[in-house]
Amino acid sequence: MSGSVPDPKPLSISETPIPGLLVCELPVMGDNRGWFKENWQREKMVALGLPDFNPVQNNVSFNTKKGATRGIHAEPWDKYVSVASGRIFGAWVDLREGSTFGRTYFTELDPSRAVFVPRGVGNAFQTLEDSTAYTYLVNDHWSADAQSRYVFLNLADETVSVPWPVDLADAEISAKDREHPRLADVPPMPPRRTLVLGANGQVGTALREALASRADVDFAGRKELDLADPASLGRVDWKNYSVVINAAAYTAVDAAEESGRSDAWRINAASVAELARLARENDLTVVHISTDYVFDGSREVHTEDEPFSPLGVYGQTKAAGDLAVATAPRHYILRTSWVIGNGQNFVRTMANLAGRDITPNVVDDQIGRLTFAEDIAAAIVHLLDSGAPYGTYNVSNEGPAQSWADIARDVFTLMGKHAASVTGVSTAEYFAGREAAPRPLNSQLDLSRLRATGFTPAPAQERLARYVATLETAK
């Protein structure tokens, strides 16, 4: 392409039959000196729908003669291919695991056209002119280990039938490229996986159930990955993952004030900051569970953009973790309150007391809503699957706000006991004479941002009744 180009076409991005493979039409401006183009312009291209794929390496393949042919290679990263000089015939074959395996797309590229190639889509080209310079950006650094994860397809495969302009018998092709397997013998490239940390806790257990049908999810409990040891994160091969869900945390609120202070900071803040760094470096979506304890409870309803005001060490460490996670470009922070799931929790304790005819004193000046772990898990799946905007979302169950004493009375009633068996006391009275962390008195969370994504949690009292019934059945 040389000489004057008086009317360059506008920048545009269009889809192809291969999901995620996008064609970019690039404005090329020329005069008697030659031409100029913006080959990669992140702000404009992302606005038009190109993934923000964070390229880290730029490669150039110079091809001396017409007919030089390279491919078909599916690589374990995204790439953006273009031409600096000359022309090519490009061929792409979907080699990813799934229903589109084997699907093809062909087009010519000159300096005015580029193609975004997602991970796992086989890429090949044949030069149509001498002295063709083929360039590409990738979002991972090449290594011998990475090359071991390539998937290859033979250029002459009869199934995909690439219409090469220059017959392959006359083309310049490497010996390796001539020896690649036919489509029937190609192992599809598996998708990047999802990793759930803290998989044995209340939320982690609920995620095991919610994601039980998924073959692309790995679950790590404390034995497999201990966040008390931040270095353990460095032993994970993050290139295999696209999403990490952090359901692990130090939650001993009172111990965090004294004996557990260092553990709380290490697990809730330092390790989370390291996880956020890894997410940035490896192009991960990170999902993180937060808490109402990042607020002091002075507002009637807490919104997602309320400034942090933690009262104690636990809340301070969780707020620090939230700030770290927010540095990852793709993140979901789910702020919860009063979590109930599998394992020891307030509802189970009250049901046990009711079953033993014990009449407890329960705090009645802390107000909020229960959040059942199954609904946290469902919200996580919804946000990920729906492509909801990244950011922070409050997540609790629906329904009227209650005190802990109100909930205890509901549990007693569901257990067939008298609600009057529960005596309400203030927080100060309950903890009199004991060392205890300060607690927010109001934990009501505004759920409008979550609802706007199309997800509405179940009413808390409906979930409570079902949960207590399972305890009765177990007993």
Domain-by-domain residue ranges, the chain? 12-185, 193-474
The tokens describing 271, both together, are: 């390790």
Nearest to 82 by CA among 110, 52, 120, 117: 110
52-56, 85-89, 280-284 — which one is most confidently predicted on average? 85-89
The tokens describing 422, both together, are: 């529960």
Q: Are 290 and 321 in contact (CB under 8 A)?
A: yes
Please state the rounded mean pLDDT for residues 443-447. Answer: 97
CA atoms within 13 A on the CB side of 243: 20
User: What is the per-residue pLDDT for 9?
Assistant: 85
Nearest to 291 by CA among 232, 250, 258: 250
Q: Are 464 and 410 in contact (CB under 8 A)?
A: yes
Mean pLDDT of the residues in the chain: 94
Catalytic residue, candidates 80, 105, 134, 136: 136
CATH 3.40.50.720 assigned to 193-474: yes
Residue 475 has pLDDT above 60, yes or no: no
Separation between Cα atoms, residue 60 and residue 433, nearest integer Å: 72
How much of the chain, in percent, has pLDDT values that exceed 90? 88
- How wide is the angle at C-alpha 283 spanned by C-alphas 125 and 245, nearest 5°? 135
For 7, other C-beta atoms within 10 Å of its C-beta total: 7
> What is the reported pTM?
0.86
For 56, other C-beta atoms within 10 Å of its C-beta total: 13
- For the stretch 72-96, pLDDT in tens is 999 999 999 999 999 999 999 999 9
| pLDDT band at residue 213 using 50, 70 and 90 as cut-offs | very high
Separation between Cα atoms, residue 129 and residue 69, nearest integer Å: 12
Please state the rounded mean pLDDT for residues 333-355. Answer: 95
Nearest to 440 by CA among 291, 316, 296, 307: 296
Q: Verify whether residue 136 is a known catalytic residue.
A: yes
**Contacting residues for 472 by C-beta, under 8 A, at least 6 apart:** 351, 415
Separation between Cα atoms, residue 308 and residue 286, nearest integer Å: 21
Residue 190 has pLDDT above 60, yes or no: yes
**Omega before 72 cis (within 30°)?**
yes
- For the stretch 156-187, pLDDT in tens is 999 999 999 999 999 999 999 999 999 999 99
- At the topology level, CATH places domain 12-185 in Jelly Rolls (2.60.120)
User: What is the per-residue pLDDT for 5?
Assistant: 47
Residue 147 has pLDDT above 80, yes or no: no
Residue 2 has pLDDT above 50, yes or no: no
How much of the chain, in percent, has pLDDT values that exceed 70? 98
Alpha helix ranges (H) inside 86-163: 144-147
**Contacting residues for 41 by C-beta, under 8 A, at least 6 apart:** 11
Place of tokens 């620090």: 320
